């Protein structure tokens, strides 16, 4: 089919207007010819014979009259075996390959094959004559830790396709034709291990969406116990600069109990990505014993890279996440930071001279954010398997103020909110998630009612602390002071976690349960303590013991010893339980 052509009529920043012939579609990809290079761009508005294109590169040197070639395809990514361990830019350009070719700098107009050109050991799973539908597997290849399903392209019509031929078990190149299928009308199509999918369309080739009801363990106590995230759920992490958003995301990317992690570094510092790039290959995933890189894909469009590609990068990332979900895997997408993505939309909207909304963000900001997070989900596939995409996005609110449009629009659509607080990070209380302002709608690993009880102590403790600031310690009753100390204890031994300590940095759910149980007994006890000084000394001792306990391996002998010592310590002063806590304890399973 003849490709449509056009000519540049105007340039404004990274937006180029083009006069075209024939028919073109919105979100179609066009290439602007400048000298010897082709600049990739996307149609974002069409008006009569004029189209506005956002260019994914710098537009220096573009002149009126330059020719434009349309591709007849929407902005797409290639999907196939070999995506794992890759480092891509926002348009799925493999950065290490680009570096090998172009050296230190990102040369514009160079687009390389995203799927590595290599051979795979293919095992067919269908026979000639079998009927298959889009997203059904026709075979598998082993990709590192996973059995990578080779599927009928999602973009094929949703009709029964008959397998005309299929390669037998053997080693084939990723681009070799491995099967031929035909639709009911007899139109034949060749299948390779690779196909493409437009990034801005959600992949919906599944049977049904399920409620996200299984906790995604992050090994961060405050999250798993108090502010859980579910597999297939969504959460956001807003926070001012320096509050530890990126550190928290890095920790999550290492420890999350999922099959695959996709990191979308969107408009942030390049240095932070470099840390991941250099560290991950060295780090061992305790679950699999293999390098963490084997379960990771990095999409990296850092702050100095072209803005339009930044806008595309989150879509590129989520499309890959959905692709692996189609194989029945649990995928976690970490987007850092969605504010930079929103800013990219704002820049484009400004160039299009759209009527601005709040803080000049476009009016469609909210719907775009909602659309993006809605691509998360737990689904049952046609073959009965269950897969999920979980999305966690950081937000970088201007001035650290959560009342701004991106944070607010995000809060409307996510299932959990982990708000980072400057106050806590200044006090070196990490992770700096604010335990009282944050919330989650998912179920965690620990009995809800017990968690609620602990939370209520935290609130009470905070109230008493506020009061003490006014009336002083003298004006506070011993009972209130005990509650205050209980809250402080909960904060320092459970909510805070030392990410530099090899043991404390990642806490398995079993250990969280055990620790929480002891903590719950301590919080629920009534103590026989004379005065505030005694209270303070007692809780200091308990805290010290508890922290020591936190820092020893669960499997070690010392762990049991310290637990005993701790139990003995608190029991020495305990004279019974608070009735509410007692009821929860005796309630046992219920």
Q: Given the rule CB under 8 A, which residues bind other proteins?
A: 8-13, 17, 58-65, 87, 95-96, 98-99, 102-108, 240-242, 267, 269-271, 273-275, 277-278, 300, 302-305, 307, 340, 343-344, 346-347, 350, 353, 356, 359-361, 396, 398-401, 426
Phi, psi of 332, deg, nearest 5: -115, 125
Q: d(Cα 114, Cα 95) in Å, to the nearest integer?
A: 9
Closest CB 345 distance from other proteins, rounded Å? 10
Closest CB 46 distance from other proteins, rounded Å? 18
Closest CB 360 distance from other proteins, rounded Å? 4
> Omega before 516 cis (within 30°)?
no
Residue with tokens 């504010």: 339
Q: d(Cα 294, Cα 284) in Å, to the nearest integer?
A: 10
Q: d(Cα 560, Cα 562) in Å, to the nearest integer?
A: 6
Closer Cβ to other proteins, 340 or 486, answer by number:
340
Closer Cβ to other proteins, 55 or 542, answer by number:
55
**In this structure, what token pair is assigned to residue 124?**
């067919």
- Residues 258 and 233: beta-carbon distance below 8 Å: no
Strand order in the sheet with 179-182: 131-132, 161-166, 179-182, 188-191
Residue 114's nearest CA partner among 316, 280, 289 is 316
Closer Cβ to other proteins, 60 or 466, answer by number:
60
Closer Cβ to other proteins, 12 or 165, answer by number:
12
Closer Cβ to other proteins, 109 or 153, answer by number:
109
Closest CB 405 distance from other proteins, rounded Å? 10
Closest CB 498 distance from other proteins, rounded Å? 13
Closest CB 354 distance from other proteins, rounded Å? 9
Closest CB 362 distance from other proteins, rounded Å? 10
Closest CB 395 distance from other proteins, rounded Å? 11
C-alpha angle 254/257/258, rounded to 5°?
95
Closer Cβ to other proteins, 272 or 578, answer by number:
272
Closer Cβ to other proteins, 102 or 478, answer by number:
102
Closest CB 422 distance from other proteins, rounded Å? 10
**In this structure, what token pair is assigned to residue 160?**
């029964």
Q: Count Cβ neighbours within 10 Å for each residue of 56-80 and write b for 16 or more, e otherwise.
A: bbebeebeeebebebebebbbbbbb
- Residues 147 and 154: beta-carbon distance below 8 Å: no
Q: d(Cα 551, Cα 502) in Å, to the nearest integer?
A: 8
* CA 357 remoteness from chain centre: 27
Q: d(Cα 152, Cα 164) in Å, to the nearest integer?
A: 13
* CA 69 remoteness from chain centre: 35
Closest CB 61 distance from other proteins, rounded Å? 5
**In this structure, what token pair is assigned to residue 187?**
């139109």
Closer Cβ to other proteins, 151 or 243, answer by number:
243
Closer Cβ to other proteins, 105 or 127, answer by number:
105
Q: d(Cα 342, Cα 406) in Å, to the nearest integer?
A: 7
Closer Cβ to other proteins, 196 or 425, answer by number:
425
Closest CB 62 distance from other proteins, rounded Å? 5
Q: d(Cα 537, Cα 541) in Å, to the nearest integer?
A: 6
Gyration radius (Cα) of the chain, Å: 27
Residue 83's nearest CA partner among 258, 266, 293, 291 is 293
Q: d(Cα 148, Cα 174) in Å, to the nearest integer?
A: 12
Closer Cβ to other proteins, 291 or 554, answer by number:
291
């Amino acid at each position: 089919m003849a490709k449509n052509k056009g000519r540049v009529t105007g340039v404004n920043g990274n937006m180029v207007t083009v006069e075209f012939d024939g028919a073109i579609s919105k979100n179609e990809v066009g290439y602007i010819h400048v000298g010897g290079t082709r600049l990739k761009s996307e149609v974002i508005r069409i008006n009569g014979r004029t189209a506005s294109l956002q260019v994914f590169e710098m537009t220096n040197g573009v002149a009126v009259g330059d020719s434009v070639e349309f591709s007849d395809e929407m902005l797409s990514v290639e999907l196939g075996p070999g995506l794992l361990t890759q480092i891509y830019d926002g348009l799925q350009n493999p950065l290490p390959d680009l570096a090998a070719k172009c050296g230190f700098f990102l040369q514009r107009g160079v687009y390389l094959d995203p799927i590595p050109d290599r051979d795979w050991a293919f095992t067919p799973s269908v026979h000639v004559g079998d009927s298959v539908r889009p997203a059904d597997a026709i075979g598998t290849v082993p990709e590192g830790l996973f059995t990578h399903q080779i599927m009928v392209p999602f973009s094929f019509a949703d009709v029964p396709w008959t397998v005309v031929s299929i390669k037998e078990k053997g080693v084939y190149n990723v681009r070799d034709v491995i099967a031929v299928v035909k639709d009911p009308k007899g139109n034949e199509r060749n299948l390779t291990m690779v196909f493409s999918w437009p990034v801005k369309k959600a992949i919906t080739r599944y049977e049904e969406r399920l409620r996200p009801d299984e906790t995604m363990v992050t090994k961060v106590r405050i999250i798993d116990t108090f502010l859980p995230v579910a597999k297939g759920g969504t959460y956001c992490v807003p926070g001012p600069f320096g509050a530890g958003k990126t550190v928290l995301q890095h920790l999550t990317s290492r420890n999350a109990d999922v099959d695959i992690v996709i990191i979308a570094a969107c408009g942030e510092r390049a240095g932070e990505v470099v840390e991941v790039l250099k560290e991950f290959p060295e780090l061992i995933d305790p679950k699999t014993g293999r390098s963490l890189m084997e379960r990771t894909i990095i999409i990296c469009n850092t702050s100095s890279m072209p803005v339009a590609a930044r806008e595309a990068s989150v879509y590129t990332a989520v499309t890959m996440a959905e692709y692996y979900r189609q194989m029945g895997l649990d995928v976690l997408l970490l987007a850092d930071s969605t504010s930079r993505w929103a800013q990219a939309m704002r820049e484009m909207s400004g160039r299009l001279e759209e009527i601005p909304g709040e803080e000049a963000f476009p009016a469609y900001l909210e719907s775009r954010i909602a659309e993006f997070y809605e691509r998360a989900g737990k689904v049952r596939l046609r073959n009965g398997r269950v897969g999920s995409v979980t999305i966690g996005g950081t937000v970088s609110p201007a001035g650290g103020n959560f009342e701004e449009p991106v944070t607010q629009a995000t809060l409307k659509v996510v299932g959990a909110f982990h708000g980072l607080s400057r106050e806590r990070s200044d006090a070196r209380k990490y992770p700096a998630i604010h335990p009282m302002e944050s919330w989650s709608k998912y179920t965690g690993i620990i009995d809800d009612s017990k968690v609620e009880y602990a939370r209520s102590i935290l609130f009470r403790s905070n109230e008493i602390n506020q009061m003490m600031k006014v009336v002083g310690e003298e004006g506070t009753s011993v009972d209130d002071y005990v509650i205050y100390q209980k809250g402080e204890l909960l904060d320092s031994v459970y909510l805070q976690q030392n990410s530099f300590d090899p043991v404390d940095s990642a806490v398995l759910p079993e250990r969280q349960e055990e620790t929480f149980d002891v903590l719950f007994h301590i919080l629920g006890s009534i103590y026989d303590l004379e005065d505030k000084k005694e209270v303070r000394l007692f809780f200091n001792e308990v805290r010290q013991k508890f922290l020591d306990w936190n820092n020893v391996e669960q499997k070690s002998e010392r762990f049991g010893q310290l637990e005993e010592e701790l139990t003995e310590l608190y029991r020495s002063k305990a004279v019974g339980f608070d009735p509410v806590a007692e009821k929860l304890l005796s309630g046992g399973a219920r």
